């Protein structure tokens, strides 16, 4: 409650101090929750059941997609996260009415007529670039600031821009801003991606659902979140075939109409809690998951000595014996091992009885958590895209700072098994992706609280 009040007061303060009364300031803004910290007293095995939240990486593009509809949409299972708030703030700024009630969000895009996104809002959420395709398709023009680099290293948008250009968007770069316009309706075309970028695939899908003619995306991303976005759009009246495969075909339609839709469960939150169960020698049941989406991570946990059993939309993970190393984790586009699960699984491997090897193939700067894990006593060496983890007998509590979302979650995973007290700061990163990390972990026996 106090945390929420603080967020509210801080947001109100920011709105007035920044002269941004026109829209609601998202809670993740720098400084908002930086004073919070998690206090973790490690060493308690986790036991019990957890319900898995909706997927952030699905909810965000689906929220953006509501902009394209002629009528309101009702979304369920949207996780209560600062990134979701940031998307809602952008939608409101653009002129949508957005009503959020817990995990349900109603978006009415009828009055949306603004085509720019203020720089403050662009910077708030990394995936805001995906608004570009939707705004251009809806309004025929857009002005957004160039998204900067981020905590994972430079995040280029060349694939997004070249794809949108192929669909007919004229894009001029102007001192950190992208000024875009279209000459009438966008035109479907054949787009070949040199890498199956998740964000670029989403941008193309959003730009092309109402384009004239047919768009084909070759080497499209195959992530479950792409399939979820396609399913939402199809329910709205879009004609999309092949989502989840390497070639997606989109036959443009004149209009799409809002619908009621439930976002898929978050496979990365599930993988994080699996790592927490494994490192503490616990026994957790995760409910409301999609087992198929987690297939890429199961081998790592089984290799680590865990028993993983699945049934319907539930899984049970337990570890009784030794924690074994994971020999070779290579992050790859889906259905490969997800880059987002690399850090939590690495945290797990710090206490394994041997050497684990990680190869990060998606982002060049995704090992920042390793220096913080070392503060807890982990033995990790990083050389370029390779990290070598020599398992240690014990981790010891220490002050650590989250510097990115999944790296932050990895610190919590390690802290749960460390001897003594760990204080985790930088929670604004963790709060971007985990709706209730301390409440979830408390409910299964962890000694963790936020101050």
Helices 198-208, 158-166: crossing angle, 10 deg rounding: 20
Work out the widest C-alpha separation in the chain, in whole angstroms.
64
Contact flag: residue 294 with ligand UD1 (CB under 6 A): no
Q: Which is nearer to ligand UD1, 45 or 133 (CB)?
A: 133
- With a CB cutoff of 8 Å and minimum separation 6, the contacts of 401 are 372, 424, 425, 426
The residue (of 223 and 438) whose beta carbon lies closer to ligand UD1 is: 223
CB nearer to ligand UD1: pick between 358 and 363 = 363
Our measurement of the distance from residue 449's CA atom to the centroid of its chain's CA atoms, rounded to an integer in Å, reads 23
Query: Which runs of consecutive H residues, i.e. helices, occur in 56-125?
Result: 56-65, 82-94, 119-124
Among 113, 190, 192, 195, which residue interacts with ligand UD1 (rule: CB under 6 A)?
Answer: 195
Instruction: Report the nearest approach of ligand UD1 to the CB of residue 318 (Å).
Output: 27
Shortest CB 5 distance to ligand UD1, Å:
30
Phi, psi values for residue 147, rounded to 5°: -65, 135
**Cα dihedral across residues 386, 390, 391, 396: positive or negative:** negative
Interacting positions 210-229 with ligand UD1 (CB under 6 A) = 223
Q: Specify the residue for token string 């952008």.
A: 90
Residue 393 marked ligand-binding: no
- Residues 80-139 touching ligand UD1, rule: CB under 6 A, are none
CB of 54 to ligand UD1, least distance (A): 14
Hey, is 45 helix, strand or coil?
Answer: coil
Is 180 known to be catalytic?
no
Q: Is 385 in the site for ligand UD1 (CB under 6 A)?
A: no
Tokens 């690399």, located at residue: 342
| Cβ–Cβ under 8 Å, residues 447 and 411 | no
User: Among 78, 96, 136, 150, which one carries the catalytic annotation?
Assistant: 150
Tell me if 374 is assigned to a ligand binding site.
Answer: no
Question: What is the secondary structure of 380-438 as a DSSP string?
Answer: EEEETTEEEEE--S--B--EEE--SHHHHHHHHHHHHHSBSEEEEE-HHHHTTT-SSHH
Stretch that binds ligand UD1, among 20-28, 68-76, 298-306, 337-345 (CB under 6 A): 337-345
155 is in an annotated binding site: yes
**Closest to 189 measured CA to CA, from 171, 168, 206, 170:** 168
Nearest to 83 by CA among 153, 141, 140, 26: 26
Distance from C-alpha of 42 to C-alpha of 313, rounded to nearest angstrom: 29
Q: Which is closer to ligand UD1, CB of 64 or CB of 200?
A: 200
- Rounded CA Rg of the chain: 22
Burial of 78 (0-12, 13-18, 19+ CB in 10 A): buried
Q: Is 320 annotated as a binding residue?
A: no
Q: Which residues pair with 71 in a beta bridge?
A: none
Question: According to the binding rule CB under 6 A, does residue 362 interact with ligand UD1?
Answer: yes
Nearest-approach distance from CB 379 to ligand UD1, in angstroms: 26
State the number of binding residues for ligand UD1 (CB under 6 A). Answer: 19
Q: Single out the segment in contact with ligand UD1 by CB under 6 A; choices: 102-110, 336-344, 380-388, 394-402.
A: 336-344
Closest approach of ligand UD1 to the CB of residue 340, in Å: 5
**One residue of 191, 200, 229, 284 binding ligand UD1 per CB under 6 A:** 200
Nearer to ligand UD1 by Cβ, of 297 and 446: the residue is 297
Residue placing its CB nearer to ligand UD1 in the complex, 365 or 443:
365
- Say if CB 175 and CB 211 are below 8 A apart: no
Among 58, 89, 166, 197, binds ligand UD1 (CB under 6 A): 197
Least spacing, CB of residue 357 vs ligand UD1, in Å: 19
**Interacting stretch for ligand UD1, rule CB under 6 A, among 194-202, 276-284, 343-351, 367-375?**
194-202
13 belongs to the binding site for ligand UD1 (CB under 6 A): no
> What element of type H or E holds 356?
strand 355-359
- Is 287 a known ligand-binding residue? no
What is the nearest approach in angstroms of ligand UD1 to the Cβ of residue 265?
14
Q: Does 339 bind ligand UD1 (CB under 6 A)?
A: yes
Distance in Å, CB of 129 to ligand UD1, minimum: 8
Instruction: List the interface residues with ligand UD1, window 137-176 (CB under 6 A).
Output: 155-160
159 known ligand binder: yes
Closest CA to 349 of 401, 310, 297, 308: 297
Footprint of ligand UD1 on this chain (CB under 6 A)?
57, 155-160, 195, 197-200, 223, 333, 338-340, 362-363
Known binding site for phosphoenolpyruvate: residues? 56-57
Q: Among all residues, which ones are annotated catalytic? A: 150
Known binding site for UDP-N-acetyl-alpha-D-glucosamine: residues? 126, 155-159, 340, 362
């Amino acid at each position: 409650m106090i945390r929420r009040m603080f967020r509210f007061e801080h947001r109100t303060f920011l709105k007035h101090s920044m002269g941004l009364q026109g829209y609601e300031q998202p809670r993740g803004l720098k400084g908002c929750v930086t004073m919070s910290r998690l206090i973790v007293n490690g060493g308690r095995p986790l036991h019990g059941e957890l319900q898995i939240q909706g997927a952030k990486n699905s909810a965000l593009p689906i929220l953006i997609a509501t902009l394209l509809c002629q009528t309101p949409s009702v979304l369920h299972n949207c996780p209560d996260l600062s990134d979701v708030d940031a998307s809602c703030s952008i939608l409101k700024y653009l002129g949508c009415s957005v009503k959020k009630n817990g995990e349900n969000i109603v978006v009415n895009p009828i009055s949306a007529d603004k085509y720019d996104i203020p720089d403050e809002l662009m910077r708030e959420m990394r995936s805001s670039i995906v608004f570009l395709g939707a705004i251009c398709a809806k309004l025929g023009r857009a002005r957004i600031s160039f998204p900067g680099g981020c905590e994972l290293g430079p995040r280029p948008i060349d694939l997004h821009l070249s794809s949108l250009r192929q669909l007919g968007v004229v894009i001029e770069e102007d001192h950190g801003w992208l000024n875009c316009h279209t000459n009438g309706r966008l035109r479907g075309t054949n787009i070949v991606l040199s890498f199956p970028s998740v964000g670029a695939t989403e941008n193309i899908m959003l730009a092309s659902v109402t384009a004239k003619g047919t768009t084909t995306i070759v080497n499209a991303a195959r992530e479950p979140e792409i399939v979820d976005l396609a399913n939402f759009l199809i329910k709205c009246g879009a004609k999309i075939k092949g989502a989840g495969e390497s070639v997606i075909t989109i036959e443009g339609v004149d209009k799409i109409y809002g619908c009621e839709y439930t976002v898929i469960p978050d496979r990365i939150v599930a993988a994080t809690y699996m790592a927490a169960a494994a490192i503490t020698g616990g026994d957790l049941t995760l409910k409301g998951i999609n087992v198929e989406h987690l297939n890429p991570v199961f081998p790592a946990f089984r290799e680590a000595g865990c028993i993983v059993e699945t049934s319907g939309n539930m899984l049970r993970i337990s570890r009784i014996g030794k924690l074994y190393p994971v020999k070779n984790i290579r992050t790859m586009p889906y259905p490969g091992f997800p880059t987002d699960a690399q850090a939590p699984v690495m945290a797990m491997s710090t206490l394994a009885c041997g050497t684990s090897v990680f190869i990060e193939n998606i982002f060049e700067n995704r090992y920042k958590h390793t220096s913080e894990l070392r503060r807890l006593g982990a033995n990790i060496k990083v050389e370029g895209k390779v990290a070598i983890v020599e398992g240690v007998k014990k981790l010891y509590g220490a002050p650590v700072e989250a510097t990115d979302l999944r790296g932050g979650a990895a610190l919590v995973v390690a802290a749960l098994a460390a001897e003594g007290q760990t204080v985790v700061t930088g929670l604004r990163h963790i709060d971007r992706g985990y709706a209730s990390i301390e409440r979830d972990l408390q409910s299964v026996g962890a000694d963790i609280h936020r101050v």
